[in-house]
Amino acid sequence: MLTALCMLTACNNTSREDKQAPADDGIDYATFEYKVDRFADIEILRYPVPGFNSLSLQQKELVYYLSQAALEGRDILWDQHNRHNLTIRRVCEALYENYMGDKSSENWKQFETYLKQIWMANGIHHHYSEDKILPAFPQDYFVSLVKSVDPGRMPFRDGMAADETLNEILPVMFDPKVMPKRMSQAAGTDIVATSAVNFYEGVTQKEVEDFYNAMKDPADNTPISYGLNSKVVKVDGQITEQVWKLGGMYDKAIERIIGWLEKAEAVAENEQQRGIIATLVDYYRTGDLKTFDDYSVKWVADTVSRVDFINGFIETYTDPLGMKGTWESLVNFKSEEASERTRVISDNAQWFEDNSPIDDRFKKEEVKGISAKVITAAILAGDTYPATPIGINLPNADWIRRDHGSKSVTIDNITFAYAKAAEGNGFNEEFMWSDQERARAKEYGTLTDNLHTDLHECLGHGSGKLLPGVSSDALRAYASPLEETRADLFALYYLADPKLVELGLLPDEEAYKTEYYHYIMNGAMTQLTRIQPGKDIEQAHMRNRALISNWVIEKGEADNVVSLQKQDNKTYVVINDYDKLRSLFGELLREVQRIKSEGDYEAGKALVEAYGVKVNAELHNEVLARYEALDIAPYKGFVNPVYKLVTDNNGKVTDVTVSYNENYVDQQMRYSRQYSALPLKN
Ligand code: ZN
């Protein structure tokens, strides 16, 4: 079920000095500190929430309760990522708080960095590369820390002594051969057995596939999302599911989520929204995936409420088999002014579908229910925190998208914070070919980047259709990168269409060139800064960006359309013919749509493997060296604002305040104290 989902992450290094501050809302932008922390390959940023203070009291209260419900799911995600994660985190946090020895040593500093890294990844595997994060301090040092702290202050399970806990976690933390990958995609291996995620235990890939295939009815036109909310285990030789629900796995956290959702229900904006929250609560109580579909259908229909949210087991990127949903939440409210842009796009959705370069057999006769809006994020949680998407398109169930449409959002205040943090970082000067590209980036960069996200999310993912009888699972492990490729190509193709100028979405016919240049520079070169030397590209969005960029460079080199050129031993993307480049995007879109619509697994595999996976080592080393000199962190995460209820003497809520002064360590430690209901062993 990886076909339709999307969490578009930002390629967020390009400096965008054109970005204006949003309307003033009691936020002092002149002194707002976007940069919070910096360690390893990570920079932590802070985002403002413009407009929060202008919400009604009821809306603010709603945001508050939904935010609490969001934060309560944190430990679920940690445990989903690996079954030792909660133990390791709690041991490390207890050391961080209670160790009384030398805190100026190099080893202690490395220990602090490790803790910050696993907070960022919600576990011991890198949030992006999926590789296990190996501590830069020795195992002996860690053991000495654990033994030096009063056992009464350590989170040892069921009276377990330090030694027993250490026996459990030391190999998981320090042995590079134990659980090396959170999610393994290596062809020819048992990807269930070789993945460190906690979705399966004691079962093989074949057993899991047989288990779910036996449930599926090929004639079912509205199938549930099989396996979305459970762990698969073997009990007495029988394969069975442990369902994530009240009274099931993750009971204690889900109980708290429900508690906050019920408070939210009481202050919902309208009956429709009340019904949505009530159905979600019902789903958490029963674990019934039909109820989850009911909820999704209701949720997608709500286009009137100002405050909106995601809360649940949603995206399936981290499951090697693409079925299990990681827990995530995002609370947000509509940015009315900026949403005018997405309104124009969704109003014209049918025109875009009819005029796309794909084969008519694969076009939707009637594009349904595409709603798109620009939102302001109020809280990020679970799989959207600290690393966060800039655009989301949901729900993921193909039949709901087909029959009821989808909701697509662009998260404005997050892209704003990225842009502010990137100001003056020297990136464009280093990697762009000439002043012409740099000048365009400055003038149109933010606009075209946001527009690309809008087109990708609200039209790209929603366009096209499968031929009758083609399964949405047909492309298997290649489904996700190919789906992202399709959505990106749709956006790229249309960015250059005169229709966008006609609709008032772009100011002139020059602007799109900014995004074309930026896209290929990133896909062919600068995104490689996120890959370690010698490694392949694994992440779906990165594979898709490499695929598109490398493919057009190969096809476009001969006609001098687009190429990589060297000057002073530095490689640059050079685009000579933007018109022809657009035709190449159209040509590739046509082929990728055919692959999806026909379920042509072999062709899809060939395309991804040829253009989206392997890295040119020489170019890679060059880009890494140039990037290192700029000293920019390849990955960004965020801290959340802090919301507080203000009550009068009778306990009646009179206001909700927002503040922005919590730092990364304090926030993570507070979350661990305040929102940590799960036992160590789930
Ligand atoms: Zn996408």
Residue length of the chain: 682
CA of 6 to the centre of ligand 1 (A): 4
* Strands across the sheet containing 230-235: 200-201, 230-235, 238-243
CA of 390 to the centre of ligand 1 (A): 10
pLDDT digits (tens, 9 = 90+) for 6-25: 333 444 455 444 445 555 57
Q: With a cut of 70, say whether residue 160 has pLDDT above it.
A: no
List CB-based neighbours of ion ligand 1 within 5 Å.
6, 8, 484, 487
- pLDDT above 70 coverage of the chain, percent: 96
Mean pLDDT lowest among 169-178, 319-328, 361-370: 361-370
- pLDDT above 90 coverage of the chain, percent: 79
Q: With a cut of 70, say whether residue 278 has pLDDT above it.
A: yes
Mean pLDDT of 467-486: 89
Higher pLDDT, 164 or 604: 604
Mean pLDDT of 260-265: 98
Q: With a cut of 90, say whether residue 51 has pLDDT above it.
A: yes
Mean pLDDT of 483-491: 96
> How far is CA 680 from its chain centroid?
26
The angle formed by the CA atoms of residues 312, 80 and 677, to the nearest 5 degrees, is 75
Question: Which of 152, 45, 140, 43 lies closest to 97 in space, CA to CA?
Answer: 152
Q: How far apart are CA 530 and CA 518, in angstroms?
A: 16
CA of 449 to the centre of ligand 1 (A): 14
CA of 460 to the centre of ligand 1 (A): 8
Q: How far is CA 23 from CA 48, 86, 373, in A?
A: 11, 41, 18
Q: How far is CA 214 from CA 211, 217, 226, in A?
A: 6, 8, 11
How would you classify the pairing of strands 35-39 and 42-46? antiparallel
The DSSP call for residue 120 is H
pLDDT digits (tens, 9 = 90+) for 377-409: 999 999 999 999 988 989 999 899 889 988 888
Give just the sign of the alpha carbon dihedral 191, 193, 196, 201. Answer: positive
Higher pLDDT, 470 or 250: 250
CA of 274 to the centre of ligand 1 (A): 29
CA of 7 to the centre of ligand 1 (A): 6
CA of 483 to the centre of ligand 1 (A): 7
Q: How far apart are CA 5 and CA 2, in angstroms?
A: 6
Q: How far apart are CA 352 and CA 374, in angstroms?
A: 20
CB 515 within 8 A of CB 448: yes
pLDDT at 151 (0 to 100): 87
Highest mean pLDDT: which range of 185-194, 214-223, 656-665:
656-665
- Concatenated DSSP letters for 479-498? HHHHHHHHHHHHHHHHHT-H
Q: What are 73's two structure tokens?
A: 């799911």
pLDDT at 18 (0 to 100): 41
> pTM of the full predicted structure?
0.84
Say which residue the tokens 């910096």 belong to.
38
pLDDT band at 3 (very low <50, low <70, confident <90, very high): very low
The mean pLDDT value of the chain amounts to 92
pLDDT band at 472 (very low <50, low <70, confident <90, very high): confident
CA of 238 to the centre of ligand 1 (A): 37
Adjacent-strand bridge partners of 393: 6, 408
pLDDT at 369 (0 to 100): 65
